[in-house]
Structures are given as C-alpha cells and as structure tokens.
Amino acid sequence: MNASRLLLAKPWIWSFAATAIVWLVTILFTGGASSLGLSQAALTFAAFSVIVGIGQMFVITLGPGNIDLSVPSTMTLSGTLALKLMDVQDGMILFGLALSVLIGFLVGIGNYALIKLLRIPPIIATLSMSFVVQSTAIWSNRGLRIKPPQSLAEFTTSSLGGIPNIALVALALSLIAWVLLEKSIYGRWISAIGQSTFAARMTGIPVDGTRFVTYILCAVLASVAGYLLASFSGGAALNMGAEYLLMSIAVVVIGGTAVAGGNSNIPGIWGASLFMFLVVSMLNTYGFGAGFRLILTGLIIIAVILLAGGRQSAR
Amino acid sequence: MKLSSATVRLIIPAASLALLLVAVFYMQPRAMSYTGLNLLFNLAVPIALATIAQMLIMAVNDLDLSMGTFVSFCACVAATFLQTSPAIGILIFLGAIAVYAAIGVVIHVRELPSIVVTLGMSFVWGGLAVLLLPSPGGVAPGWVRWLMTAKPPVVPVAIVASILIAAITHFVVMRSSFGVAIRGVGGNHRSVERAGWSVIRLRAATYALAGVFAVLSGVALVGLTTSADANIALRYTLLSIAGVILGGGEFVGGKVSPIGAVIGALTLTLAGSFLSFMRISPDWQIGAQGAILVVVLALRLALNRLETREKTR
C-alpha cells in the first residue's frame, strides 16, 4: 500500500505505464509473434532518443527558457565528420569518437558564448548556432556517402545477451548521468539554478560555470548520439538529426521533467523514449497511413501530458 | 528629446532593417525599384502574419511550436477546399481557430507547458496536412492570387500589406483595452484577474486571434506560391520566434511589439535575398542567416547598453 503510493508519486511511472500499454496492444495485434523483435527494435531506437534526451534534460533543468535547438545539426555534423575521418578503417574508431566529442565541445562552447556574451535567449542562440553547424555539415558532406568502419558497424547493430549494444551504451550513459544528477554537487547545482537562479547565485553557486558545463554536456551527448546513429545506419545523412529536435524535447517532458526547470528525472526519459517509438510502430502494425499516424502520435502525446502533467504548476 | 522605452525598443530592429536594405541596394542598385522591392519582400507577408500570431502567443508567456505545421495545414486547406468549395474551406478555418482557442483553455486550466501541448499539436496539424495533400498540388483560389499579386501604384503590395498588418495589430495589441489585458496576462496574470478580467477567456481569445493570423498566413502563402504541400511552411515555427525576438519582443513578461515583429519578419526575409545577392555558396546560406541573426542581436545588446548608461547618468 505504502510502496505503491510511493511508486505512484514518481513522475516517471506514467511514461512506463503508457509504454507497457502500447507494447501490449501491439503484441496483441501480432499475436505475440514479434514480441522479441519489437522489444529489441524499441530498445535500439529508444537508445538514441535517450542519449540525446539526457543532454536536453540537463539543459531544460536549468530553468525557463533554457533549451538546446542545435541538437539535430550537431548530430549531423558529428556523424559526417567522424565517418569522414575514420574512412572505413577499423583502427580509426577511437579517433572518430574523439573527434565527435571535440565537435560537441566546440558547439557547446559556441552556444554558451552566444548566450553569455551576447545575452541572447538560449532558444535563439542555439538556433543561430545550429544554422552555422548545419552549413558546415552540408559543406563537408559533399560527395559520396562514407560507410562506417566494419567493426564499428557490427558493434552498433549487434546485441549482447538479447539486449542491443546501443541500448547498453545508453544505459551506461544514463547511469553516469544519474550519478551526476543525484549524487554529485553538480546535480544539486543545476537543480538549484533551475529552481531559482537568483537564490543560487546568492548562495555562491558558480551559476555561469554550471550553465557552461551543461550546454557542453548536452552538445557532447548529441554528437556521441550522432556518431552512433551514423554508424548504426551505415552512413551519415544531412537530415539524420532532424527528427531528434522535437524528440529530444518530447521525451524529456513526457518523462516527467518539469519544463519550468529545477526538477529532472532519468528513468522517465527511458519510459518516454520507448513509448514514442512503440506508438509509431503500433500505428504501423495497425496499418495506418502517414497522415493518421502523425495525428494519432500528436493526440497520444497530448493525452499523456493531460493525464500526467498539470500536477504542479509548470508553466 | 525624450524617447519612451517602447520607441527605443523599435529603433534597433528598424535600424538593422534599414542597414540590410542599404547593403542590398549597394550590391544590386536595380533592386531599388518597384519590381525589385516587390521581389525582395514578396515572401514577407506570410512570414509577418505568422510572426504576429507567434507574438500573440508569446504575449501570454507561451510558445507555439506548431506554428509551421499549422500554417502548412492552412495553406493546404486554402489550395484545396477554399478553391473548390469556399464554404467548407471557411468552415474548416473556423474549426481550426476554435481548436486554437481550445488549446488555450486546456493549457490554462490544466496548467500545462505550452511547449509540449503545441508540440503534440504540431504532429496533428502535420498529419492533417498530409491527409489533405499527400503530394504537392492544389490550386490557389483566384481572389487570393489576385490579392497577393496586385500592383498598387507607387508602393508594392508586400510593403502595403506589411504596413497594414503592423498598423492593425499595433492598434489591437498596444492601444485597445483587450490588448492591454493580453499583455497583462503575460506580465502578471493575478493582477489582471483582480482587475475583473477572466484570464481563461483572455487566453482563449489570444489563442483564437493567433489562429486567425496563422490562417491568414497560410492563405497568403498559397497566394504567392499558387500551390501547396504539406511541408510548405515548416520553417515558420523558428522563423516566427526569431522574428518576434528580432523585433524586440521577449519570451516572458508580455513585452511584445507588433510593429517590431513585422520589422523582424521583414529583416529575416531580406536576409535571405541579401545572401543570394552576395553570391554566397548555397552550402553556407543557412549558416550566414544564423550569422546575421547573431549580428543583429549583438547590435541590440550594444544599443541596450547605451540606453542603460543614459539612464544611470
């Protein structure tokens, strides 16, 4: 009784409940035939949303107005340049990863420089930054589609004990993020800043430094996700990050992180990512066309928000 | 001479627009003609209308992430139903505006974050647009086409329309008591409530009005492009937000400026033309647009600093 009440009070429980329902409905339609395949696909694709979503969550936790719109272009640039550097050689895999982390660093620094030095609202600063990053990606992406190195492609598409490797990577990153958020002083700081920047500054929290690190963290996670996604899908494409703009925001918010900042949770991101993928595949299984699929996806998002949201004032 | 802070707010966007215009004229003197101006600002009308719609939503401290898909949807309706059976087309538009009002009510009653609700709605509008026009097509209604390609004497239609939009919305948002109440909701909704206004009705009305402008934006867009497709205006979401900010608006506090928003939309449109005159390689066009955005905002910061220095002196 007490335990269930404790569980119901967790904001992330709703996204998991919704996920379980959608999973069951899909499995019912196929008669249980594809349950393993569906679960594996869900874990794989959710993993990309999780990695991007964690970064976005840290940024959103910083408080109202904080959001990173440069995520899709960072993913594209990182995937493009990393594959170019690796040039199908297995020996270059780590260098490729290092390059994409470096790109994340640079984009993050650029984002925060615009926000801080020009005092531009983050939404516009990261938007302008994303234009520049996207241009760089277009410029460098000319010519042929470069394949990822053999062993990297194998790693990203295979699984360990039934769980896709990508999902394991995302799990490891989530654990690190959880420790950062719940156990480290940094996590306390970003929550404090999100709740009241003024109060945080008064208590001597290095507000600027914390925000700076957070924007870098978000960009680095986005570029790592881009690196993995490009390797997984057999090459980088210019529009490969596009759907992750709305996705990264949606998973954070459906997962129960307060949009007003100051309160975040990582399990919710997993629930929401799995949910978003499963909704689309459920609608696919039921044979809906693209139009109806979009409409139903939207209505389901709103329904989940109506059910789960609005408990605390979050505007 | 004493300037009100609202005027100072307008000087920066106006100055950056003028600067950009001078740069364009310098590079391409032939643009300094009736036809040239018409070409330069042609696409500004739908962008300006969408920016005004976004500005209304931002005036009540919300943000509409579905603007682009909604304008696309309206363009699709305009190119299909409004052309073949105008009555049904108008009914659909009225329904869509009612949905906007309903979104406002839901956001207010359940205290939901507007970003998420409109994010969900963006899927819905996108889906409806795909259902209407699975592939690009449709035909613009004759009267819309006539209106958008009209050639009034002396001043091109795009500029006449922009001035009209700015004047009308300035009157509604800045001068009428309804407008004051809307901005009051953004500034301090409790005090608006205590003054006897119903905040929920105000929010519904604001969203409905934003819906009206977004519908007009879609219709105007189809008048220019003659046909529509489901993705025709996706970039309007970000363009409209950028336009409001460029025009001196802010995300919170009900600080918006309709004239500024229209100027912001004109600046963004002109930036595109400017880049093609500069013969920048298409690879870098988007990047240069971002750079222009940054430069204008940097200018604004510099001028704001000057303003505060004046005040402290």
Which residue in the set A124, A246, A294 is minimally distant from B130, CB to CB?
Answer: A294
Which of chain B's residues have a Cβ under 8 Å away from the Cβ of A111? none
A160-175, pLDDT tens digit by residue?
888 899 999 999 999 9
Measured distance CA(B134)–CA(A136) in Å, rounded: 32
Cα angle B260, B264, B267; round to 5: 135
Report the domain count for chain B.
Answer: 1
Cα radius of gyration rounded to whole Å, chain B:
19
DSSP B156: -
Where residue B55 falls among pLDDT bands split at 50, 70, 90? Answer: very high
The minimal CB distance from B119 to the residues A65, A124, A246 is found for: A246
Give the integer Cα–Cα distance in Å for A69 and A87: 29
Range of the domain at B169: 5-306
- A54-67 pLDDT, tens digit each: 999 999 888 877 88
User: CA-to-CA distance for B148 and B158, rounded, in angstroms?
Assistant: 8
Burial class for A278, CB neighbours closer than 10 Å (0-12, 13-18, 19+): buried
Torsional sign, CA A147, A132, B242, B29 = negative
Residue of B123, B241, B250 lying closest to A298 (CB–CB): B123
CA pair distance A201, A259, nearest whole angstrom: 21
Instruction: Give pTM, 2 decimals.
Output: 0.82
The pLDDT of residue A2 is: 61
Q: Smallest Cα–Cα separation from B76: which of B31, B36, B147, B135? A: B135
Residue A39 and residue A22 in contact, taking contact as beta carbons nearer than 8 Å:
no
Contacts of B299 (CB under 8 A, 6+ apart): B12, B15, B16
Which of A261-265, B40-44, B133-137 has the largest mean confidence? B133-137
Higher-confidence residue: B41 or B168?
Answer: B168
- What is the Cα A191 distance to its own chain's centre? 19
Of A118, A135, A309, the CB nearest to B286: A135
> In this predicted structure, what is the pLDDT of residue A1?
47
Residue A124 to residue B123, Cβ atoms within 8 A:
no
Percent of chain B past pLDDT 70, that is, above it, reads 96
Average pLDDT over residues A202-218: 92
Is B127–A290 a contact, with Cβ atoms under 8 angstroms apart? yes
DSSP A163: E
* pLDDT higher than threshold 90 for residue B155: no
Total beta-carbon pairs less than 8 A apart between chain A and chain B? 148
Please answer whether residues A197 and A63 qualify as being in contact, where contact means their C-beta atoms are separated by less than 8 angstroms. yes
CATH number of domain containing B89: 1.10.3470
B111 touches chain A (CB under 8 A): yes
Q: Does B288 touch chain A (CB under 8 A)?
A: yes
ipTM metric: 0.80
The whole-angstrom distance between residue B115's C-alpha and the CA centroid of its chain comes to: 17
For B39-44, what is the mean pLDDT? 84
Alpha helices, DSSP H only, in A185-289? 185-195, 197-202, 207-232, 243-254, 267-285
The model's pLDDT over A132-190, given as tens digits with 9 standing for 90+, comes to: 898 888 888 776 678 888 888 888 888 888 889 999 999 999 999 999 988 899 989 99
Which residues in chain B are closer than 8 Å to A315, comparing Cβ atoms? 61-62, 107, 111-114
Q: Do B287 and A313 touch (CB under 8 A)?
A: no
Q: Is residue A250's pLDDT more than 90? A: no
Q: Return the percentage of chain A with pLDDT > 90, whole number.
A: 29
Does some domain include residue B12? yes
Asked if residue B264 belongs to a domain, the reply is: yes
Residue B117 lies in a domain: yes
Of B56, B57, B173, B51, whose CA–CA distance to B107 is shortest?
Answer: B57
Banded pLDDT at A315 (limits 50, 70, 90): very low
CATH match for A42-308 among 3.30.750, 3.30.70, 1.10.890, 1.10.3470: 1.10.3470
3-state secondary structure B125-139: HHHHHHHHCCCCECC
Written as six digits, the tokens of A254 are 């459906």
> What separation, in Å, do the N-terminal and C-terminal C-alpha atoms of chain A show?
32
Tell me the pLDDT band of B215, cut-offs 50, 70 and 90. very high
The residue of chain A with its CA nearest to that of B244 is A124
Give which of A82, A220, A221, A93 is closest to A141, Cα–Cα: A82
Residues in contact with B250: Cβ distance below 8 Å, sequence separation at least 6, in sequence order? A121, B58, B256
